[in-house]
Amino acid sequence: MYGEAVALGAGTVLNALATGVGSAFALDAETTAWVELDDSGVVEGAIAGAPDGDTRLIRRCVERVVDRFGDGHGGHVRTESDVPMAAGLKSSSAAANATVLATLSALDVPVGDGADAVLDREAACRIGVAAARDAGVTVTGAFDDASASMLGGVTVTDNTADDLLAREPVDWDALVWTPAERALSADADVARCERVAPMADLVADLALDGRYAEAMTVNGLAFSAALGFPTDPAVEAMPHAEGVSLSGTGPSVVAVGDRDELERVRDHWTQREGDTWLTTTRTDGARVIE
């Protein structure tokens, strides 16, 4: 009983830590999960390149799918990822979505919009969100990040109800800067984020109006200030990018817009320590590998 699936990392339009409403867009950065089920009743996990990595999230994803669709199975889950962990690029959502889809595939449960499908990808995504809450790796459940990773494009969600408010395809080039430091979402200063709630409401209005790039720039200024990250990378990008923001709870910064203009931003950002790379948005989302 074997399954394999891929899900995407994402960047932030609106951080949900202030009000519960959030927005994110899928990036071309993939996490793959391999799941082998057996009759052991115990789930073990491994993360490629991180022998001491915290596997609670991916093990809990397998357990939740097995509880609902399996028969007391245990087994083994392994992930491998292009998405750096705890860097603001939704590594947890990508790992959860890939693991949920791979486990469903191992159990031969069809996912999607087809006539034989038992659940659609949005419902599969909610299983991963529940597992993230169980594992304590999220503040709000991060349905914004998880839905972007699973469905592709940009999504706007109300994480207090796991409600999908909007979803649109977006076709942008994106520039990502990831410094070496790491910031776990679960450790973020939520009280500081709540202080910028009026700005978060404004960002939500802009996003629901389809003005995603401007929304993310306002988000970046507000949440960089709240969480204590520098705004210099955003100020360097603003003359060239359509939008730029601190992503998630940091420390990565993502700019979107025209590739030639983003190459000019790259000239600034590569002078900083850390990794800077050009990528694109993705509209296809997560998939099972048959």
Ligand X SMILES: O=C(O)C1=C[C@@H](O)[C@@H](O)[C@H](O)C1
Binding-site residue positions for ATP: 84-94
255 binds ligand ATP (CB under 6 A): no
Choose which of 142, 237, 244, 254 interacts with ligand X (CB under 6 A).
Answer: 142
- Count of CB atoms situated within 10 Å of the CB of 187: 11
Distance of alpha carbon 224 from alpha carbon 266, whole angstroms: 20
Q: In sequence order, what are the residues at sequence separation of 6 or more whose Cβ sits closer than 8 angstroms to the Cβ of residue 205?
A: none
90 binds ligand ATP (CB under 6 A): yes
| Closest distance of CB 250 from ligand X, Å | 9
The enclosing H or E element of 30 equals strand 21-38
SS3 for 282? coil
- Report whether 100 contacts 67 (CB < 8 A): no
Site string for ligand X, 13-32 (x = CB under 6 A): --xxx----x----------
Q: Which stretch binds ligand ATP (CB under 6 A): 80-88, 103-111, 193-201, 218-226?
A: 80-88
Backbone angles phi, psi at 234, to 5 degrees: -70, -40
Q: In the bound complex, which residue of the shown chain has the CB atom lying closest to ligand ATP?
A: 248
Question: Which of ligand X, ligand ATP, none does residue 140 bind (CB under 5 to 8 Å by kind)?
Answer: ligand X
58 binds ligand ATP (CB under 6 A): yes
Choose which of 31, 97, 140, 217 interacts with ligand X (CB under 6 A).
Answer: 140
With 0-12 / 13-18 / 19 or more C-beta atoms within 10 angstroms meaning exposed / middle / buried, residue 53 is middle
Site string for ligand ATP, 205-244 (x = CB under 6 A): ----------------------------------------
Q: Kindly report the CA angle at 117 between 21 and 25, in degrees rounded to 5?
A: 30
Distance of alpha carbon 12 from alpha carbon 247, whole angstroms: 5
Of 10 and 262, which CB lies nearer to ligand X in the complex structure?
Answer: 10
